[in-house]
Amino acid sequence: MEAKTQYKSSRRWFLQHWTAIAFTFAFVPLTQSLDYAEALSKSLLYFEAQRSGRLPYNQRATWRHHSGLTDGLDQGVDLVGGYYDAGDNVKFQLPMAFTITMLSWSVIEYGGDIAAAGEYKYALEAIKWGTDYFIKAHTHPHVLWVQVGEGETDHYCWQRPEDMTTSRRAYKIDEKHPGSDVAGETAAALAAASIVFRRTNPHYSHLLLVHAEQLFDFGDKFRGKYDASVGAAKGYYPSLSGYMDELLWAALWLYKATDNSHYLNYALQNAQSFGGITWAISEFSWDVKYAGLQLLASTLSIRQGKGEEELSKILQEYRLKGEHYICACLNQNNKTNVRRTPGGLLYIRQWNNMQYVSNAAFLLMVYSDHLRETNQMARCERRFVGPEEIFAFAKSQVDYILGLNPMGMSYLVGYGPKYPRRVHHRGASLDSYKKKKSFISCTQGYDNWFGRKNPNPNTLTGALVGGPDNKDRFNDHRRNYMQTEACTYNTAPLVGIFAKLHALERDTDIEDSQLFSANK
């Protein structure tokens, strides 16, 4: 009982003490009250708006309708389902798989908090909508369909997904046309999801693992970058980091899912040659996985503590590189730190910067939990950093997203009184198919809707847009796609964060109420 009381007290101290410090240094208004439970609920709703395929009877984003019902037909495969990545109508496997990996990681870390908020069902549905599609797309142990649609023709049109007249050509990787990066990321997503479904649906969990292991073996045996095999992806989701990070990432997730030492040994034996313990990276995204896999590996080091000397040494090297990322976010490296806006937001690059912010906040929060649980600190070049400080900074980034910023703008669509109203999104910016079933042609959307100054007729609730520039400025216009387009992988890591912050806030309220009652 005493230990539990101390733990609760520590949680409340995190919120009250470190939140005040974070806000002071971010120079943002402190008057706005944040509702993390509402943010969690809306973030999960966003994935329903991005669905492709035949929508279920309980679809909550009611302005959407069935779409892409013939995907894969010309190639003789069933590729109906999955998610559109952003504001267009193409299905890109690499970012879609990363989205599912991060959603699954959110549930693995904070599933209890998600359940306590009443959102667990929706989190599992969001994951399963993706994994069901991955199973379809994996038609042979050495074949994975990795794209449906063409970015060039799709971007020429401004159409609802329900009206698509653009090419729905499907692209695959196989033995002669390898794609180790996309195979590895899909394996990681399926392995992580198998952990999520292990208790509630063990048969499905096993099926996911079978596909994950086959895809990992395929990606490892037939190595190559997928954008060299699928030229149509190169202009939209090129694999700039190569495939070695995805293979390490997949191996670590498979180890967590199976406890099979083969996968851990793979990550250890290839740590040097694949860059796992040589790359010190200051960003984490759908393309560059090094920071995520390094921190994932470093938690194994922390949890195992003692063990084989060589194993422990390599895992410690993973930790060293992973903490470089943590320290870069906290501005505690001597040279390579992440820039910040005047309002305190991490700033990597102009186009869709919020993807890096939400991913950073998630990694920071997860790692702060591990450090606190093991009574350790992160070692930065300038000084040691404790879990409380890491947590506080992660929270400051999330609070900036929700409106505690110089513009007073929530960048999570549909949350708060002020949020982006002209999101760069085809379906949201055109009249709902359910209200106006008459066909909207390829160019008609551009002529009659795209340039309108009016807000979108449909709210893309829960979408995290690209966000402000390096001076905290934001221009809410559909043409401004670098700032107003939202992507599934922007929102995915926020699911776990919102759940955790809501749980901390709830526990603090309960404890305060109990203290008040005791003092009556």
CB atoms within 10 A of CB 31: 6
Nearest to 493 by CA among 402, 372, 365: 365
Give the ranges where 243-353 is alpha helix by DSSP (H).
244-258, 261-269, 290-304, 309-329
Nearest to 287 by CA among 93, 143, 88: 93
β-bridge partners, 148: 91, 170
What is the three-class DSSP state of 448?
helix
CB atoms within 10 A of CB 310: 9
Token representation of residue 415: 């949350």
Give catalytic residues, as residue numbers.
424
**Residue that is written with structure tokens 């040279």 in the block:** 335
Token representation of residue 364: 């920071």
Cα–Cα distance between 182 and 191 in angstroms, integer? 14
Handedness of CA 271, 272, 275, 281 (dihedral sign): positive
Token representation of residue 378: 């992160």
Which phi and psi angles does 412 have, rounded to 5°? -95, 110
String of DSSP letters for 341-408: -TTS-EE--STTTHHHHHHHHHHHHHHHHHHHHTT--EE-SS-EE-HHHHHHHHHHHHHHHTT-STT-
CA angle 353, 354, 356 (to 5 degrees): 75
Nearest to 358 by CA among 400, 305, 306, 323: 400
Nearest to 147 by CA among 45, 222, 230: 230
CA angle 442, 228, 484 (to 5 degrees): 40
**Residue that is written with structure tokens 């990996």 in the block:** 101
Nearest to 85 by CA among 77, 97, 76: 97
Contacting residues for 509 by C-beta, under 8 A, at least 6 apart: none
Cα–Cα distance between 76 and 344 in angstroms, integer? 51
Nearest to 413 by CA among 474, 366, 344: 474
Q: What is the chain's length?
A: 520
Nearest to 123 by CA among 100, 96, 97: 100
β-bridge partners, 412: 464
CB atoms within 10 A of CB 16: 10
Q: Do 76 and 92 meet the contact criterion of CB atoms below 8 Å apart? A: no
